A and B are shown apart, each in its own frame.
Chain A
Amino acid sequence: MATPKAGIHGWGVYIPIYRLPLSDIAKIWGWHPDQYKGLAVESKAIAGPDEDSLTMGYEAAYNAIKRSKIEPKKISAIFFGTESKPYAVKPSATIIGEALGITPFTMASDLEFACRAASEGMRSLIGMAASGLIDYGLAIGSDTAQANPGDVLEFTAASGAAAFVIGRTSNASAIIEDSVTFVTDTPDFWRRASQPYPLHGEGFTGEPAYFYHIENAVKALLERNGLKPSDFDYAIFHQPNGKFPVKVGQDLGFNMDQMKDGLVTPMIGNTYNASALMGLARVLDKAKPGQKILLAPFGSGAGSDAYLITVTDEVENRKPLAPTVEDYLNRKVLIDYASYAKSRSIIHVIK
């Protein structure tokens, strides 16, 4: 059976303007500088007081649709992947769909799988587009990631969004040739219902979770396509910090030249559902026709996807149609811990 293929028609991201230097977090909580320097992240992007995963998801999707050059009404599935949804019950996907003019004849739902929910949405859209159920679908990953103040997680939990219009292969900017998912029941990171902040198993989030799942997904993809790491021009991995993606890439046999363009976390922190997908957007901003991309998002709980993507000639026509990841990275205002605390509602106000 031929592998179902689908195309990436448009891509778009959104990064809020505010940046909090990690040194500020260390200063407030009394961390030793080594504690955050090992993470290889300089500062993290912070959603403003009037932003949330919904507004950021809208911005990213708006950019993706512009690049796709299609009418919003032609989109008939919206998957919104997040672990920071403004409503626990009430779909965010319908709000974004309505704001973008996609509703009412569309599927719309919010997905949850820690940091890889949006990627699961992408895999679903591949099948839906390849089967002819839909012409186009929208996958959005957006998070205003939460972290308990003072927890080591606070250094990297950041805000940002990435979105992709997925459809049939004709006239696409890139073709998703194949994809693999690898999941197990691994409780490395979780947030119970009604709890404000997630908990994590410290070292357990590394080898048995992040590395184990990504390595297995990627190896399975390479094996069944008869490919080796050197066949790729780019390799992008989920980026909980600046260190893990480089290590997992090197362990799998990729080099820094293949990985550096897909690394965004060192500048803005971990945007959770947008983390690896923002790396893909940045690579598409630069990639040349014919180039091959490996993409491997990861979500705690735990699972990883591995995608084999080939860039088409059409990519050049789409690049200028919306702001690039670089545009958003360069657009920044440094804030201090107090502004971040107010903006992210860490300060408990009695009303």
Chain B
Amino acid sequence: MVVYVEGVGMTKIDRHYDYSLKDLAANAAFAAIEQAGGVDGIDYLVFSSSLSSLQDNQLDTASYLATSLGLRGIKALNVEAGEASGLAAISVAKSLLESHQADKVLVIGAEKLNEFVSSKVYKQLQMLYDGDTKSFYNIGFAGDAAILMRLYMDTYNVDRELMSYWPALMHSNAKENPYAMLNFAIKPDKVAKSQILADPITLLDSYPLGDGAAAIVLSNKDMSSSPLAKISAIESSTGYGSIELSEDPLLFDSLSEAFRRISNIADTSNLDFIEIHDSFTITAMIILETLGLANRGKAAELVSTGYFSPGGKGPLANPSGGLKARGHPLGATGVYQIAESSLQVANKFPGVKANNAKKGLVVSLNGLGSSSYVALVEGV
């Protein structure tokens, strides 16, 4: 079943010292509600956040948030799935609509990564990886991805410099996006020379710590008035999320399965754009190859030729600037991706536009693929 995006709202991703999680959530929610034509009919709030319960010492945030937004009485639910929380929340919202548990759902994703000093936040980000085998041994936030990047470069004989075109493309796209945190251009040769987080991953291979919130109003067909877009399908799968357990670590098994599932129920060919989960440069490369958008070992080269750039032959990759440069407020990211994609197919995105876009694929995952979510967003 198809669900409709009635309205979207986003805050610029930034260091929002003056705004609490609820303030950010309210800013995004009110913008989405306004675009959707008001609160009438909204009967469910699905709230997505990864770290906020830990940071704010707060449980059942969705209920408190619903009441503080003036929506007391509606149903509310928290969704947490690590970095994939946002798209997981939208997936849950879609199920609620399909099962007629809800008629109109407000989905809000919000996260504050500048709530504490970075050393504490990086420690919290370790929680995205398997506790038994990773964070227990204090494997750092970029550590696993660094091993994966090394493996990728060694296996396919890919040059470090070739990997640097992705961050440069993301910054170039983000420069046009008013909601992006890092809206400035960088040259590819800056990437390898920036600070090392976990060799070979540098600062510019990774995402900034940003605060932000995004919201969308979803409805089923009966309730839809003048929607921006429709979400034709969402699928997901769990996976190893671990290099050492995986039979083929250079593909994300969960994404492979989620993509197979969505391709069974919807037409995923002829994509005009994609919004993918580039938490690190290497994550983007593996996603492109898992989706079959690039041959194995060839994603970096394809990116460097401009295939995924505006005006390129392939689908436009992350017109928002991606996690890399738009920013990655964990639990909000998936909601940003759907909001941006809805604006793309409505020809209303205020940044880099995919030409005459009809269809886009959104990919969100946690860590190195402990779970993967894919969504198909189409014009109406």
User: A208 and B17 in contact (CB under 8 A), knowing A199-B117, A201-B117, A203-B114?
Assistant: yes
Judged by DSSP, the binding face of A is helix
Q: Is A35 an interface residue (CB 8 A)?
A: yes
When the two chains form their complex, are residues B196 and A32 in contact, meaning their CB atoms are under 8 A apart? Answer: yes
When the two chains form their complex, are residues B114 and A32 in contact, meaning their CB atoms are under 8 A apart? Answer: no
Q: Is B15 an interface residue (CB 8 A)?
A: yes
Q: Which residues of chain A are near B195, meaning CB under 8 Å?
A: 32, 34-35
Q: Which residues of chain B are near A201, meaning CB under 8 Å?
A: 117
Q: Which residues of chain B are near A203, meaning CB under 8 Å?
A: 15, 114
Q: Which residues of chain B are near A34, meaning CB under 8 Å?
A: 193-195
Distance A34 CA – B204 CA, assembled complex (angstroms): 13
Closest to A33 in B: B195
Q: Is A98 an interface residue (CB 8 A)?
A: no
When the two chains form their complex, are residues B17 and A204 in contact, meaning their CB atoms are under 8 A apart? Answer: yes
Closest-CB distance, B322 to chain A (whole angstroms): 22
Closest-CB distance, B98 to chain A (whole angstroms): 43
Closest to A188 in B: B17
Q: Which residues of chain A are near B193, meaning CB under 8 Å?
A: 34
Q: Which residues of chain A are near B67, meaning CB under 8 Å?
A: none
Distance A32 CA – B203 CA, assembled complex (angstroms): 11
Q: Is A202 an interface residue (CB 8 A)?
A: yes
Interface centre among B17, B114, B193 (most CB of A within 10 A): B17
Distance A309 CA – B67 CA, assembled complex (angstroms): 56
Q: Is B118 an interface residue (CB 8 A)?
A: yes
Q: Which residues of chain B are near A35, meaning CB under 8 Å?
A: 195
Contact of B117 among A32, A202, A208 (CB under 8 A): A202
Closest to A31 in B: B195
Q: Which residues of chain B are near A204, meaning CB under 8 Å?
A: 15, 17, 114
Q: Which residues of chain B are near A199, meaning CB under 8 Å?
A: 117
Distance A199 CA – B120 CA, assembled complex (angstroms): 13
Closest-CB distance, A117 to chain B (whole angstroms): 25
Closest to A206 in B: B15
Distance A32 CA – B196 CA, assembled complex (angstroms): 7
Closest to A203 in B: B15
Distance A123 CA – B305 CA, assembled complex (angstroms): 62
Distance A34 CA – B196 CA, assembled complex (angstroms): 10
Distance A235 CA – B373 CA, assembled complex (angstroms): 56
Identify which of residues 162-198 in chain B touch chain A, using a CB-to-CB cut-off of 8 Å: 193-196
1/0 contact trace for A49-74 toward B, CB 8 Å? 00000000000000000000000000
Distance A229 CA – B359 CA, assembled complex (angstroms): 54
1/0 contact trace for A11-38 toward B, CB 8 Å? 0000000000000000000001011000
Contact of B118 among A32, A202, A208 (CB under 8 A): A202
Q: Which residues of chain A are near B17, meaning CB under 8 Å?
A: 204, 208
Closest-CB distance, A275 to chain B (whole angstroms): 23
Distance A35 CA – B197 CA, assembled complex (angstroms): 12
Q: Which residues of chain B are near A207, meaning CB under 8 Å?
A: 15
Q: Which residues of chain B are near A200, meaning CB under 8 Å?
A: 117
Closest-CB distance, A316 to chain B (whole angstroms): 47
Q: Which residues of chain A are near B117, meaning CB under 8 Å?
A: 199-202
Identify which of residues 226-256 in chain A touch chain B, using a CB-to-CB cut-off of 8 Å: none
Closest-CB distance, A195 to chain B (whole angstroms): 15
Closest to A208 in B: B17
Closest-CB distance, B71 to chain A (whole angstroms): 31
Closest-CB distance, B204 to chain A (whole angstroms): 11
1/0 contact trace for B14-30 toward A, CB 8 Å? 01011000000000000
Q: Which residues of chain B are near A32, meaning CB under 8 Å?
A: 194-196
Distance A32 CA – B114 CA, assembled complex (angstroms): 23
Q: Which residues of chain A are near B196, meaning CB under 8 Å?
A: 32
Identify which of residues 37-77 in chain B touch chain A, using a CB-to-CB cut-off of 8 Å: none
Closest to B114 in A: A203
Interface centre among A200, A202, A204, A207 (most CB of B within 10 A): A202
Q: Which residues of chain B are near A208, meaning CB under 8 Å?
A: 17-18
Closest-CB distance, B15 to chain A (whole angstroms): 5
Q: Which residues of chain A are near B15, meaning CB under 8 Å?
A: 203-204, 207
Q: Which residues of chain B are near A202, meaning CB under 8 Å?
A: 117-118
Distance A32 CA – B193 CA, assembled complex (angstroms): 10
Closest to A186 in B: B17
Closest-CB distance, B244 to chain A (whole angstroms): 26
Closest to B117 in A: A202
Distance A201 CA – B18 CA, assembled complex (angstroms): 14
Identify which of residues 114-163 in chain B touch chain A, using a CB-to-CB cut-off of 8 Å: 114, 117-118
Closest-CB distance, A220 to chain B (whole angstroms): 21
20 A/B residue pairs, CB under 8 Å, sorted by A: A32-B194, A32-B195, A32-B196, A34-B193, A34-B194, A34-B195, A35-B195, A199-B117, A200-B117, A201-B117, A202-B117, A202-B118, A203-B15, A203-B114, A204-B15, A204-B17, A204-B114, A207-B15, A208-B17, A208-B18
B residues with CB within 8 A of A: 15, 17-18, 114, 117-118, 193-196
7 extra A-B contacts, CB within 8 A, seeds A200-B117, A203-B114:
A32-B194, A34-B193, A34-B194, A199-B117, A202-B117, A203-B15, A204-B114
* 9 pairs of A and B residues whose beta carbons are closest in the complex: A32-B195, A208-B17, A34-B195, A203-B15, A202-B117, A32-B196, A202-B118, A204-B17, A35-B195
